[in-house]
Structure 1
Amino acid sequence: MNNVAGAVLVAMLLAGIASAQSGEAAFSVTCRDTDQKPVAGAEVFVFQARKDAAGKFRYDRLGTSFKTDAKGRVQGLTPVTYDDGRFDRWFVARVPGRLIGFGRSARFPALPSDEVKPASVLMSESHAVTGQVNVPEGFDVTKVRVRALSVDGPQGRGTGFPRGGGSFPGLETALPQIFERTPNAKGEFTFDDVAIGGRLCLAAEGPGLAQAQYSNLRDPEYAVFALDMVPEAVLVGAVTTPDPKLREGLIVTARLTYGRERPTPYLYTFRTRTDAKGGFRLTGLPQTRFTVRIEKPPSDFVMMPRLVEVLRHRVPQSIDIDLETGFKVSGIVRDVDTDKPLQHANISAITNFEPHAGIASSRTGVDGRFTLVLPPGECRLYFSSVPRGYEYPMPQRQWGITVEESFDDLEFTLTKK
């Protein structure tokens, strides 16, 4: 194996074999190098989606870690499925100080079980990278936490591992021994296992400080870099709802938005919950633009996302949010040739203004129908996913609608590939 590639293929052979003793499903992991020789002593971490009684997903780590044997294999038994055999798993594999890689294996509703391929993780040669955190006078740099928001192998050599934004609950705190660091008194820190030529996005966060980000996207061969921190901006406000009893515990989010003068490497989402009176306080914000919205509002309530420019630090900036009863907008998706209703098409609504933030989404059922709960005003609809075997409308279309009342007569068609 040459020094440049240093790649290891981790073949995840995920068999749906029932255990005679426990009824659990077996999985097998085999680590191989580019010469297809087994690699002994590799650590393999497994995270899988679990669904609770309320239908919410969380990605939990299975055990501590698995280690490959002399034949490069790891075998284990664990419950791995939900909803009639569906699953979603993420993998991190490494030989500390030498190799690291990431992978994902999933079976979703639109994918027949006989078409699910064994997962694989391509591991690449890793190295240590060193960074420097700089804080204003009066702040303690040792109170700062530096964490990876996203990591990836060399371009074209596998998938990444998402740790930011909250899209995969549980992964954002996964493996702190690999993906998080606390600077020393001089502000220095080192990550030991970063893929050579891979992408890395970091965030530095600390009490009273705005989140600072670093990305090596434009400089994949970096060796030393700096994260310069400034005092935080704060966004405060209150949420009003038609039913005052529903104001407590709402999730208010502020998502970083691309700025012309201050480009943002990673569109991170800040979150907080409302108190009993609907009040909220978002801290740690940099001075830039945000899209503010309510995440998963109560049934039939909705808001139009707000674009907010946060201009001040230290002095809180105020914004009030009104949740209102939405209108139900329904329709059907059909095959353009057969007129057959299509299941598993996703219709999403976005704002009519930039940055076109998401408002709502709905997946068609067996009858091909979808229903969106939308606020009054103008928005756009588009296909965020299509059933397997069908094409996206080309060029990718967006349909503008004006919502003033509920209606159920929208019709869309899709063409087979």
Structure 2
Amino acid sequence: MTWGFLHLKLLLPADASHWGPRRLRAVLLHEFAHIRRHDTIPHMLTQFVCAFYWFPPLVWLAARRLHEECEHARDDLVLESGVKPSDYAEELLGLLVPGFIPSAALAMTGRSELEVRLRAILDEKTDRRPITRRTAFIVAIFGVSSTAALATLQAPNPSASQSAAAAPANSASTATQPPKSTPEKLAVTCVDSDGKPVAGAEVHLYQFVGRSDEGRFVHSGPFTTDGRGKAVCSDATLYDGGNFDRWFYARVPGRLVGAGRSAKWTNRAAFNAENRVVMQASKTVDGHVTLPAGFDPTKVTVRVRTLHIATGPGAMDYESFPREDSFPGLDTSLPKIFDCRPDPKGRIQLSDVPVRGWLYLVTSAVGLGEAQWSNIRNRENNFDQPIHIAMEEEGFLSGRVLSPDGKPAVGMKVTARLSSSGCRQNLYLSSFRAVSDAEGAFSLPGLPQTEVVLTVLDPKKNWTFRPLENILVQPHQDPKLTLKLESGVRVGGRVLTTDGKPVGGAAISAVASESGGPGLADDQTDADGRYELRLPGGDAYLYFNSLPDGFAYPTPQIVKRLQIKPAEDDVQHLDFTLQRKPK
């Protein structure tokens, strides 16, 4: 927060030393915006006006509105400095994750403003240019004039009020005004395995906010179910012209736990539109974490990465709550429930674990590589035995990313994903991410001793990169990689029905080998059925990974094999035809 009047000082919380560079930059730019805009002056004047005109509620409403607009203006200044909207929204939300609120979050925002601010940050149509001095002068004159006018208002004469009360009921002054429409409130229903309502359940709601390619899931709650098992939650949130995506997590601590999802996507029918969550019996599970000599168990964090709750006897009869990075906002959700730290003896305890279900657990600690545990391969293990997790010293990867002409590539997203094959069978294919700096440098600490696949993504999609497979990560060894991007070849076309009509909402992807391999590019067809992929040199196999309702997947699944050569001309008319499912 910014402190002082004439001599301003910037105060940061004690845990700021553990922030990453992206979060620290976002917070500093936000607070420097206070100073740049001289916000302390209007803030003090506002407080003076509220103290002097303390009775009229409009004064307090105006003060609150002024504060909200100031926050939007500071956000605009941060975005004008070059911070990516999705990155800024992610850091803003990260500061508001439960358990981290007492730090800088309170200085930056209030929880009630979060959704409004996130929408404004992610809205590309917002004009973020500052107003001119002439406009500011006109607004200031209008504000002073309005304040003076409000100050002269008198309370109504009691006799006049009585006369008005005695006026005929059909007078124009008492004409009934049409009721204002209110946003739709979501209602979640929790039932037990027998279908009976569950009262007193604690319900957490996550709704997708923003564009489909840059949005994230935003938390609201907890809410509590009534005697009918219903919890009235926050307003319904839509994106991309009427789509919605919602995740639910519910628990009765020490007794029941449940999860669910409700969604509607383009060209697909909605599922679980009634927002129903079936809850199952839960229990507390004990465990133990072992470390190499010299490491402190209390510095380790054990996280539930994904939770599967069995709802029936079949292999696919389960509901999930995925705390994965492919679901931004869910990956850091509810740390007080899903994260824990061992005691000095390495003992851990996990609450509200389903009696029948599966967990993926991962660990993190400075100087140690990620360790994993899961009972997914032994589904009969219903946590009757304590969980044991063994950690090892970390592996490390670093290097530089270069553009096709050999210059440092700034802002490239470098990802090391655990391999599904190799010296160690990884239970969960975790991803470790970094962004290249002004010199093109990146570093990826905390890796386990295993093989990884390394990918580089250009957010602007001007360049591409063929993933490096089977890179062996070992402690105390850093290969210092040089990753050179390619201009690549653009491959595009249309997806059509058998009668030549465009198919929108079909997801098409390219992978490195016929058996799968790392992904090279992906896109979704627009309303005209068009797609475009930028592919690196070498083999590329195209397939449809998702289709709108009513269409059948092609057989075989791979619809095209390409051999991309450097400097090859773009492929512009690679069209595909989809068959409709028989009715």
| Contact persistence 1:349–1:379 (CA under 8 A) | yes
Q: What is the one-letter code of the residue matched to 1:150?
A: T
- Does the Cα contact within 8 Å between 2:269 and 2:549 map onto a contact in 1? no
SS of 2:410's partner is: coil
Rg (Cα) greater in structure = 2
Corresponding residue to 1:129 among 270, 276, 285: 285
Structure-2 residue corresponding to 1:279 = 441
Q: Which amino acid aligns with 2:374?
A: S
Change (3 A) 1:401 1:291: same
Partner of 2:456: 294
Match of 2:130 in 1: none
CA distance in 2, matches of 1:243, 1:122: 56
Q: Distance in 2 between matches of 1:45 and 1:217?
A: 25
> Are residue 415 (structure 1) and residue 572 (structure 2) matched?
no
Partner SS, residue 232 of structure 2: strand
The Cα RMSD (Å) is: 2.1
Name which of 378, 385, 390 aligns with 2:539: 378
Q: What do the CA deviations read for 1:2-35 (whole angstroms, capped 9, x no partner)? A: xxxxxxxxxxxxxxxxxx6564221112222344
Rounded to whole Å, the distance in 2 between the matches of 1:321 and 1:148 is: 33
Corresponding residue SS for 2:331: helix
Alignment partners' CA distance in 2, 1:318 and 1:125: 50
Answer whether contact 1:341 1:366 (CA < 8 A) is retained.
yes
Task: Tell me if the contact between 2:198 and 2:229 (Cα under 8 Å) persists in the aligned partners.
Answer: yes
Tell me, in whole angstroms, the C-alpha distance in 2 between the residues paired with 1:261 and 1:243: 36
Q: Which has the higher contact order (CA 8 A, sep 6+)?
A: 1
Distance 1:58 1:288, change over 3 A: same
Stretch moving more, 32-41 or 305-314: 32-41
- Equivalent residues in 2 for 1:322-341, closer than 5 Å: 322-336=484-498, 338-341=499-502
Partner of 1:9: none
Displacement of 1:322 in angstroms is 1.0
Say if 2:414 is the partner of 1:258.
no
1:160 matched to 2:320:
yes
| Structure 2 contact 509–523 (Cα < 8 Å) conserved | yes
Distance in 2 (alpha carbons) for counterparts of 1:86 and 1:388: 15
Residue matched to 1:105? 262
8 Å CA contact 1:351, 1:359 repeated in 2: yes
Q: What's the TM-score once normalised by structure 1's chain length?
A: 0.89
Give me the whole-angstrom Cα distance separating, in 2, the residues matched to 1:373 and 1:227. 41
User: Which ranges of structure 2 fall in alignment gaps of 5 or more residues?
Assistant: 1-178
Aligned to 2:44: none
* Helix, strand or coil at the partner of 2:318: coil
- Which residue in 1 is equivalent to 2:231? 74
Q: Would you say 1:120 and 2:279 are equivalent positions?
A: no
Deviations 1:113-171 (A, max 9, x none): 6x77323222111111111110000111110000011111015443211113x101111
1:395 deviates by 3.5
Q: Residue 356 of structure 1: SS of its match in structure 2?
A: strand
Shift, 1:266, TM fit: 0.4
Report if the CA contact (8 A) 2:198-2:228 is conserved.
yes
TM-score, normalization: structure 2? 0.64
Which whole-Å CA distance do the structure 2 matches of 1:249 and 1:56 have between them? 16
Instruction: Report SS of the residue matched to 1:275.
Output: coil
> Which stretch shows the higher mean deviation, 33-42 or 131-140?
33-42
Query: 1:201 & 1:394 partners in 2: Cα distance?
Result: 33
Give structure 1 regions of 4+ aligned residues with deviation exceeding 4 angstroms. 242-246
**Quick check: 2:396–2:476 contact (8 Å CA) kept in 1?**
yes
Shift of 1:182: 0.1
Structure richer in helix, relative to its length: 2
Q: Is the 8 A contact 2:457 2:464 kept in 1?
A: no
TM-superposition CA deviations, 1:233-289 (whole Å, max 9, x none) = 100110001478872332210001112441110011011121210101101111211
Residue of 51, 57, 60 corresponding to 2:215: 57
State the one-letter code of the partner of 1:373.
Answer: R
Distance in 2 (CA, whole Å) between partners of 1:290 and 1:322 is: 18
- Say whether the 8 Å CA contact 1:24–1:77 is kept in structure 2: no
Alignment of 1:11-410 (within 5 A): 21=180, 23-51=182-210, 56-62=214-220, 64-111=221-268, 117-154=273-310, 155-164=315-324, 166-219=325-378, 220-222=381-383, 223-242=385-404, 247-336=409-498, 338-352=499-513, 356-404=517-565, 405=568, 406-410=570-574
Instruction: Indicate the larger mover: 133-142 or 358-367.
Output: 358-367
1:340 deviation in Å?
2.4
Structure 1 residue 378: Cα displacement: 1.5
**CA apart distance, 1:105:** 0.8
Residues 112, 133 of structure 1: alpha-carbon distance in 2 compared, 3 angstrom cutoff: closer
**What is the aligned partner in structure 2 of residue 14 from structure 1?**
none
Per mean C-alpha deviation after superposition, the further-off stretch among 383-392 and 31-40 is: 31-40
Identity score, percent = 39
Structure 1: any 5+ residue segments left out of the alignment? 1-19
CA 1:250–1:23 in structure 2 vs 1: closer, same or farther (change >3 Å)? farther
Answer whether contact 2:290 2:389 (CA < 8 A) is retained. Answer: yes
Q: CA deviation at 1:309?
A: 2.1
Matched AA of 2:545: S
SS in 2 for 1:178: helix
Matched residues in 2 for 1:211 and 1:262: separation? 13
* SS of residue matched to 1:159: strand
Q: For 2:343 and 2:181, locate their aligned partners in 1 and report how far apart those are by CA, in whole Å.
A: 48
Determine the C-alpha separation between the residues in 2 that align with 1:310 and 1:33.
47
Partners of 2:299 and 2:346 lie apart in 1 by: 10
Instruction: Provide the rounded CA distance (Å) in 1 between the counterparts of 2:352 and 2:519.
Output: 35
Amino acid at match of 1:274: S
Equivalent pairs, count: 393
Contact 1:122–1:157 (8 Å) recurs in 2: no
CA–CA separation in structure 2 for the residues paired with 1:335 and 1:310: 45
Distance in 1, matches of 2:461 and 2:526, equals: 19
